[in-house]
Structure 1
Amino acid sequence: MVLKKVFVLLVMALLLQPVQAQFSKASLQATGLTCAMCSNAINKALQELPFVESVKADIKNSAFSIAFKQGKPVNLDAIRDAVEEAGFFVGGLQVTGTFSELGIRAETFTRIGDAWFLFLKTGNRVLNGEQTLRVLDKSFLTAKEFKKISASVSVPSLQTGKAAAGRSGEGPKEGERVFHVTI
């Protein structure tokens, strides 16, 4: 009986540890670009973010490879805002990070750094090493892609990007920002 209690306490302590993860890079697909000057506007906007180390544009594919500064928290909404303030939209965003024993359960909130994430369509697993997460939120996909994903997932926060009212347990407070991701 004592061994069982010790085991339960040990598991709880591990689950409550802050997640050690650092996003190191991202791949961004932009929409609405028509020329090299458009790519330049996004490139400049992304370079101004305090956590961005470098940006490389692939003009032909309207894509951007973003490297993040080590030790700086990454703000996904700031990336989207920078693209939109440059006059364009995010059509896709994938972030890559290094994880250490991050246990995830499908449709369960997980804190990574300063943000809440909800893993969709992943099953239960442990993330170790370098992993790439695809952001599924409305403002990080094309309208067509978001419609397809939202039809296959019944999570209220997917529509708003905010934690829903009336939920209980560990996780974000009502109205707090939640990023929806898959692997």
Structure 2
Amino acid sequence: MNRFIILIISVLCFGSNIQAQFSKATLQATGLTCALCSNAINKALGKLPFVESVQSDIKNTAFNIRFKSGSEVNVDALKTAVENAGFSIGSLKLTGNFQNLKVQNDQHIRIGNANYHFLNIKDQVLHGEKTITIVDKNFVSDKFYKVVKSYSNKACVQTGKASHCCPDVVTGSRIYHVTI
């Protein structure tokens, strides 16, 4: 009985520190010309260990991805899977369930095991299901990326890696730049 009470207290205490869990994504690919292209990306994404399912939207060259509950999403692995299938990412939107996560413009936030730098947003508290868009180079068009670079003068926006501009992040760590 005492072990059961300790377990419940542990879950309540440590579980409340979880601020977000990504549950799904919408990935738009570029360079697709036929259903076989779509199938190649679908298979590549489906092999990732954190992906539960992938549904193709051929009309919009998009893929609706569901993540396994409790798994850590690796954004770069999604990109690599698409590229290894011979294509590029045109956009990537992650949807998660947030629990009172305070985000501020031009600030870094840790979600799970990854660092996210919010750009061109109003300071706010994310609660409930919200979608964020990855705006790093090679996740958006070159034309839009030129606009993204104007959102912040921090070096990490151009490199995708933490540097002196990122005081709360280990230098050299991967940082994903996002907007809402």
Q: TM-score, normalised by structure 1?
A: 0.86
Matches of 1:81 and 1:156, distance apart in 2: 24
What SS class does the counterpart of residue 148 from structure 1 fall into? helix
Matches of 1:116 and 1:157, distance apart in 2: 11
Residues 1-49 of structure 1: per-residue CA shift (max 9 Å, x gap):
xxxxxxxxxxxxxxxx854211000000100111111100000000000
Q: Which residue of 2 aligns with 1:4?
A: none
5+ residue gaps, structure 2: 1-15
Q: Which residue of 2 aligns with 1:107?
A: 106
Q: CA deviation at 1:145?
A: 1.6
Residues 109-136 of structure 1: per-residue CA shift (max 9 Å, x gap):
1100000001111121111000000101
Q: Which residue of 1 aligns with 2:77?
A: 78
Residues 73-127 of structure 1: per-residue CA shift (max 9 Å, x gap):
1000000000000010001000000000101111111100000001111121111
Q: Which residue of 2 aligns with 1:125?
A: 124
Q: How many residues align?
A: 165
Q: Which residue of 2 aligns with 1:55?
A: 54
Q: Which residue of 2 aligns with 1:167?
A: 165
Matches of 1:172 and 1:181, distance apart in 2: 16
Choose 144-153 or 73-82, whichever is displaced more: 144-153
* 1:78 aligned partner, one-letter code: A
Contact 1:162/1:177, CA 8 A, preserved across alignment: yes
Q: TM-score, normalised by structure 2?
A: 0.87
Q: Which residue of 2 aligns with 1:29?
A: 28
Point out 4+ residue stretches in structure 1 off by more than 6 angstroms. none
Matches of 1:133 and 1:32, distance apart in 2: 24
Q: Which residue of 1 aligns with 2:37?
A: 38
Contact 1:24/1:70, CA 8 A, preserved across alignment: yes
Percent identity (aligned)? 52
Contact 2:155/2:165, CA 8 A, preserved across alignment: no
Contact 1:19/1:111, CA 8 A, preserved across alignment: no
Contact 1:30/1:89, CA 8 A, preserved across alignment: yes
* 2:165 aligned partner, one-letter code: R
